C-alpha cells in the first residue's frame, strides 16, 4: 500500500512552496502522529493584535464580496474525480501568490483569502459563527493555522463544503492535521472520492496520522461511487498504520461490495465479522440483506434476517422494508403481507411505517389481489397513514371490478373513490368509467348517470361498456326516457357513436312500453350512424307488411 505514502503533485491542496516531505521513512514525532487538538483549545494566537486600525477582513464584512479569481472558479467547478467540467486535465494548484500555478507573486489580481469567506461566515447561524467572531478585527497576516482551522470548521458545520475546500487550498500558512482532516471530510461530503484520497495521501506524506474518522470517510466515499478496489487499498493502509477500523468502516466496505454486485464477498465479510471481536451491528446485516433482495434472492435474505435476530439484534424499519421490497420484487406479495401483519401484531417487532404499507399495497394491487389490498388499506388507515392518491386510484379500480361478482364491494369502492377525489388526485377516465359501471350494477343508477355527466363536463373519454351498462340499468327499471337522454348525451355532446348493445337495450324497452314512434326514431338514428341494429326488437304492431322487407334491405339481419 505504498500509494498512501507517495507525495502526489498532480493536485496538491496547498501552495507548493510549503510542501515538506519527510526525508526518511522514520516514524514521525509523537506530537505529529496524534490527532490535532480541537481548535477551541488553542484558538488565541500568540501574535500581538494590531493596535486600533480595523483590518481588511473587518471592513470586508460590511462591503460587497468580491468576485473570486479564475483559479477559484475552476476549483469550484470540480467534478470530484480530478477533472473539471469540459476539461480532461486534472485540476491545477491554487497558488495564493499568483494567477497562475507556480506564479512568481507579481500579479496584481486579488488572491482568495480568509476575508473572502467573511460574508458566508456572517450568514451562518449564531451558534456556528461564535468561534470566529473574534477573528474579524485581525489582519490577514495575523491569522494562524489555528484561526484558519476555526474558519474551516465553521464552514464545514454549516454545510458550505465548497468554500471550505477552496479556502484550504489557498491557505497562506502550512496546514496541520486538523486542516487536512476538515478538508478530507468536506471533499467526501462533496462526493469527490479521488480528491479526498489525494488529500489523504498528502496528509500521510507530510507525516500526519489521519484519524479513524478521516480514513472511514474516504473509504465510505469511495464505496458509494463503486470504487471498492481503491477503498480496499485505503482500508489496508489504515490497518498498516495501526489505525483499527470501526464497524462503520466495515459497513462502508460491505455496502460497496453489495453496490457493485459482489454479494458473495459481502456475505463472506459479514460471516468473518460474526466470529471476530468486531461484532457486526444490525446495519451490517441490513446492508447485505438489502443487496440480496435487490437481485431477487429473498430466501438467502430471509436467512440473514433470522441470523441477525439469533444474534440478539433488533431489526430496524430499514431491515423490514428491505425484506418487504424483496418479497414484492420477486413476485410474492402475499409473503410480504404476512410479514407486514407480523410487524403489526408482534409487540417485539418494529412497527411498520408509511413506506412499509406502500410497498405491500402497491405490490398487491399490481398482482390483482384486491381483497388483500383492501385489508392492507384499512390497516394503514387505522395506523394513521395517508395513502398515496395514485394507489387509491388503483385500489378503487380493483374494487369496482370486484363489484361485477360481489355487489357488496360497492360500498368499499365508493369509499375509496371519494377518498381519491378528496385527496386532490383526479381519478383517471378509466376509474370514472369503472365506478359508473359498478354503480349501475349495484342499483344506484342516478349516481351512475350523474358520474357520466360529470365525465362529459370534464371532457373525459367514455367507454362503451360504461354508458351501455347505465343504459341497460335504466331500461331494466323502465326509465326509457332517461336512457334516451344518456344516448343523446353521448351522441350529441361528446359526438360518440353508441354501440349496438346500447341501442338494442333502448329499443327493447321502448317496444315493451308500446312507444313505437320513439322506437322507430331510435332505430333510424342507429342506421344513420352505421350501427347494425336488429329490428326484431320492434313489435309487429309498429310495422306495416311491407316495412320488414324494406328495413331488412337497409339493415340485414
Distances (CA, A) of 545 to 507, 540, 542, 555: 20, 9, 10, 17
Rounded distance, CA 44 to CA 527, Å? Answer: 99
| Predicted pLDDT at 18 | 38
pLDDT band, very low/low/confident/very high, at 278 (cuts 50, 70, 90): confident
| Predicted pLDDT at 467 | 86
Give the angle subtended at the CA of 258 by the CAs of 255 and 264, to the nearest 5°: 125
| Predicted pLDDT at 494 | 67
Quote the DSSP letter at residue 124: S
For the chain, the domains span: 113-245, 412-543
pLDDT band, very low/low/confident/very high, at 6 (cuts 50, 70, 90): very low
- Mean of pLDDT values over 287-313: 94
Rounded distance, CA 337 to CA 332, Å? Answer: 9
| Predicted pLDDT at 212 | 93
- Mean of pLDDT values over 246-255: 93
Question: Which of 22, 4, 29 has its CA nearest to residue 206?
Answer: 22
* Buried b or exposed e, range 159-193, using 16+ CB within 10 angstroms: ebbbbbbbbbbbbbbebbbbbbbbbbbbbbbbebb
Rounded distance, CA 433 to CA 429, Å? Answer: 6
pTM: 0.67
Phi, psi of 53 (to 5 degrees): -65, 130
Model confidence over 56-99: pLDDT tens digits? 333 333 333 333 333 323 433 433 333 333 443 343 333 333 33
pLDDT band, very low/low/confident/very high, at 122 (cuts 50, 70, 90): low
- Residue 236's CB is within 10 A of a number of other CB atoms, namely 12
Burial class (CB in 10 A: 0-12, 13-18, 19+), 396: buried
Model confidence over 368-383: pLDDT tens digits? 898 999 999 999 989 8
Phi-psi region of 394 (alpha: psi -120 to 50; beta: other; left: phi over 0): alpha
Quote the DSSP letter at residue 17: G
Indicate whether 40 pLDDT > 60: no
The three three-digit cell numbers of residue 131, written as one number: 468561534
Indicate whether 537 pLDDT > 60: no
Higher pLDDT residue, 220 or 487? 220
Indicate whether 30 pLDDT > 80: no
Higher pLDDT residue, 542 or 280? 280
In three-state secondary structure terms, 533 is: coil
| Predicted pLDDT at 138 | 54
Q: Crossing angle for the helix pair 161-169 and 145-157, nearest 10 degrees? A: 160
In three-state secondary structure terms, 451 is: helix
| Predicted pLDDT at 110 | 37
Indicate whether 322 pLDDT > 90: yes
Higher pLDDT residue, 85 or 283? 283
| Predicted pLDDT at 287 | 95
Same fold: 113-245 with 412-543: yes
Rounded distance, CA 66 to CA 519, Å? Answer: 86
pLDDT band, very low/low/confident/very high, at 146 (cuts 50, 70, 90): confident
Indicate whether 353 pLDDT > 60: yes
Lowest-pLDDT range, 46-50, 204-208, 245-249, 279-283? 46-50
Contact in structure between 129 and 121 (CB atoms under 8 Å) = yes
Share of the chain above pLDDT 70, in %: 70
Show the 3-state SS of 204-235. Answer: HHCCCCCCHHHHHHHHHHHHHCCCHHHHHHHH
Model confidence over 388-428: pLDDT tens digits? 888 889 999 999 988 888 888 899 999 999 888 888 888 88
In three-state secondary structure terms, 544 is: coil
| Predicted pLDDT at 99 | 38
Higher pLDDT residue, 120 or 470? 470
pLDDT band, very low/low/confident/very high, at 41 (cuts 50, 70, 90): very low
Higher pLDDT residue, 12 or 457? 457
Quote the DSSP letter at residue 78: B
Model confidence over 191-213: pLDDT tens digits? 999 999 999 999 999 999 999 99
Question: Which of 473, 518, 474, 469 has its CA nearest to residue 498?
Answer: 469
| Predicted pLDDT at 491 | 78
Quote the DSSP letter at residue 408: G
| Predicted pLDDT at 144 | 85
Show the 3-state SS of 284-326. Answer: HHHHHHHHHHHCCCHHHHHHHHHHHHHCCCCCCHHHHHHHHHH
Beta carbons within 8 Å of 365's beta carbon, 6+ residues apart = 373, 391, 394, 395, 398
The three three-digit cell numbers of residue 369, written as one number: 389481489
Rounded distance, CA 167 to CA 80, Å? Answer: 17
Rounded distance, CA 147 to CA 479, Å? Answer: 89
Rounded distance, CA 443 to CA 448, Å? Answer: 9
Distances (CA, A) of 77 to 82, 90, 192, 194, 307: 11, 12, 12, 15, 46
Contact in structure between 61 and 119 (CB atoms under 8 Å) = yes
pLDDT band, very low/low/confident/very high, at 333 (cuts 50, 70, 90): very high
| Predicted pLDDT at 548 | 40
| Predicted pLDDT at 282 | 94
- Mean of pLDDT values over 143-163: 84
CATH class of 412-543: mainly alpha
Model confidence over 462-510: pLDDT tens digits? 888 888 899 989 998 989 888 888 888 887 766 778 888 888 888 888 8
Domain over 113-245 is classified CATH 1.25.40.10? yes
Amino acid at each position: 500500500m505504498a500509494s498512501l505514502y507517495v507525495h502526489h503533485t498532480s493536485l496538491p491542496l496547498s501552495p507548493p512552496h510549503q510542501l515538506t516531505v519527510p526525508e526518511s521513512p522514520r516514524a514521525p514525532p509523537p506530537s505529529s502522529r496524534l490527532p490535532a487538538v480541537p481548535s477551541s483549545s488553542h484558538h488565541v494566537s500568540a501574535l500581538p493584535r494590531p493596535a486600533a486600525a480595523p483590518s481588511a477582513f473587518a471592513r470586508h464584512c460590511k462591503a460587497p464580496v468580491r468576485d473570486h479569481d479564475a483559479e477559484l472558479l475552476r476549483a469550484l467547478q470540480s467534478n470530484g474525480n480530478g477533472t473539471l467540467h469540459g476539461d480532461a486535465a486534472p485540476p491545477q494548484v491554487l497558488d495564493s501568490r499568483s494567477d497562475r500555478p507556480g506564479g512568481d507573486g507579481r500579479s496584481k489580481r486579488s488572491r482568495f483569502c480568509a476575508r473572502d469567506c467573511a460574508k458566508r461566515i456572517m450568514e451562518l447561524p449564531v451558534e456556528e459563527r461564535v468561534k470566529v467572531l473574534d477573528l474579524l478585527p485581525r489582519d490577514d497576516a495575523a491569522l494562524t493555522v489555528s484561526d484558519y482551522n476555526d474558519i474551516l470548521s465553521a464552514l464545514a458545520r454549516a454545510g458550505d463544503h465548497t468554500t471550505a475546500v477552496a479556502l484550504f487550498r489557498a491557505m497562506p500558512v502550512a496546514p496541520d492535521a486538523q486542516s487536512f482532516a476538515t478538508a478530507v471530510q468536506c471533499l467526501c461530503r462533496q462526493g469527490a472520492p479521488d480528491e479526498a484520497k489525494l488529500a489523504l495521501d498528502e496528509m500521510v506524506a507530510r507525516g500526519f496520522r489521519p484519524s479513524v474518522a478521516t480514513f472511514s470517510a474516504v473509504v465510505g466515499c469511495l464505496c458509494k461511487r463503486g470504487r471498492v478496489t481503491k477503498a480496499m487499498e485505503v482500508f489496508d493502509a489504515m490497518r498498516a498504520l495501526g489505525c483499527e477500523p470501526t464497524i462503520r468502516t466495515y459497513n462502508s466496505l460491505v455496502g460497496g461490495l453489495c453496490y457493485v454486485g459482489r454479494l458473495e464477498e459481502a456475505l463472506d465479510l459479514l460471516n468473518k465479522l460474526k466470529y471476530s471481536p468486531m461484532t457486526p451491528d444490525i446495519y451490517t446485516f441490513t446492508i447485505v440483506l438489502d443487496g440480496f433482495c435487490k437481485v431477487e434472492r429473498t430466501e438467502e435474505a430471509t436467512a440473514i434476517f433470522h441470523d441477525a435476530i439469533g444474534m440478539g439484534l433488533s431489526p430496524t424499519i430499514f431491515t423490514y422494508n428491505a425484506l418487504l421490497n424483496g418479497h414484492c420484487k420477486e413476485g410474492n406479495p402475499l409473503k410480504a403481507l404476512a410479514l407486514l401483519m407480523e410487524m403489526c401484531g408482534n409487540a417485539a417487532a418494529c412497527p411498520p411505517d408509511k413506506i412499509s404499507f406502500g410497498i405491500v399495497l402497491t405490490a398487491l394491487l399490481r398482482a390483482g389481489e384486491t381483497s388483500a389490498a383492501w385489508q392492507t388499506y384499512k390497516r394503514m388507515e387505522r395506523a394513521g397513514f395517508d395513502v398515496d392518491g395514485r394507489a387509491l386510484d388503483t385500489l378503487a379500480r380493483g374494487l369496482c371490478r370486484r363489484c361485477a361478482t360481489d355487489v357488496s364491494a360497492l360500498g368499499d369502492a365508493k369509499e375509496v373513490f371519494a377518498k381519491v377525489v378528496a385527496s386532490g388526485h383526479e381519478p383517471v377516465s378509466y376509474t370514472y368509467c369503472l365506478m359508473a359501471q359498478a354503480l349501475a350494477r349495484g342499483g344506484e343508477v342516478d349516481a351512475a348517470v350523474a358520474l357520466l355527466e360529470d365525465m362529459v363536463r370534464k371532457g373525459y373519454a367514455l367507454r362503451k361498456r360504461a354508458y351501455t351498462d347505465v343504459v341497460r340499468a335504466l331500461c331494466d327499471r323502465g326509465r326509457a326516457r332517461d336512457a334516451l337522454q344518456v344516448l343523446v348525451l353521448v351522441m350529441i355532446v361528446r359526438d360518440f357513436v353508441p354501440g349496438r348493445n346500447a341501442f338494442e337495450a333502448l329499443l327493447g324497452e321502448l317496444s315493451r312500453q308500446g312507444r313505437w314512434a320513439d322506437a322507430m326514431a331510435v332505430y333510424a338514428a342507429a342506421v344513420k350512424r352505421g350501427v347494425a341494429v336488429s329490428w326484431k326488437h320492434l313489435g309487429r304492431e309498429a310495422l306495416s307488411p311491407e316495412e320488414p322487407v324494406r328495413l331488412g334491405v337497409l339493415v340485414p339481419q
